[in-house]
Amino acid sequence: MRNWRTGTGKREDEMTNCLFCKIISKKVPAKIIFEDEGVLAFEDIDPQAPVHTLVVPKKHIATTLDISNEDDALIGRLFQTAGKIAKEKGIAERGFRLVVNTNPEAGQEVYHIHLHLLGGRHMHWPPG
Ligand code: 5GP
Ligand code: ZN
């Protein structure tokens, strides 16, 4: 639905207010460790493990529930990128965890999908 005041749609409004869209457009600084045409990876500001990198699509997708068929390749690239970074950081063989939180009960704080790449310490199961 179009916003009557600004003439912009909901998606544009979400992007304007989205922290990760601001990091992608370099309006907010971050420690970027990988970038290509569709994907950006940067270090989490509040790391929960020795390795804690966020891998995000440059396209604004709010949650896993908003992924559409046209995003298939992009989502594949996200996982591939996370694996590449895990190798570069030397945690691939030891093991690492990829987490995608969706909606409040899972603790999603930023509504722009992101893979948490966590590693460098033993991961517990079940997760907290
Ligand atoms: P979520 O809870 O949505 O799954 O994860 C959001 C993540 O973004 C959290 O791990 C949080 O520490 C991280 N984060 C929040 N604000 C910033 C920021 O300004 N810069 C960076 N690099 N990470 C952030
Ligand atoms: Zn966004």
Using the mean position of ligand 1's atoms as its centre, give its distance from the Cα of residue 93 in Å.
26
Contact criterion met (CB below 8 Å) for 13 and 3 = yes
Q: Nearest 5°: phi and psi at 66?
A: -105, 10
What pTM does this model have? 0.93
Both tokens assigned to 114: 């992101």
Residue 65 and residue 57: Cα distance in Å, rounded? 15
Nearest CA to ligand 1 atom 24: 45
The tens digit of pLDDT for each residue in 32-91 reads 999 999 999 999 999 999 999 999 999 999 999 999 999 999 999 999 999 999 999 999
Strand (E) positions, 1-127? 32-35, 39-43, 51-57, 96-99, 115-119
Which of 9-23, 29-43, 90-104 bottoms out in mean pLDDT, i.e. has the lowest?
Answer: 9-23
Both tokens assigned to 36: 């290509």
Using the mean position of ligand 1's atoms as its centre, give its distance from the Cα of residue 75 in Å.
19
* Position 117 confidence tier, pLDDT thresholds 50, 70, 90: very high
Query: For ligand 1, what atom is nearest to the CA of residue 100?
Result: 4
Which amino acid appears at position 84 of this protein? K
Query: For ligand 1, what atom is nearest to the CA of residue 30?
Result: 22
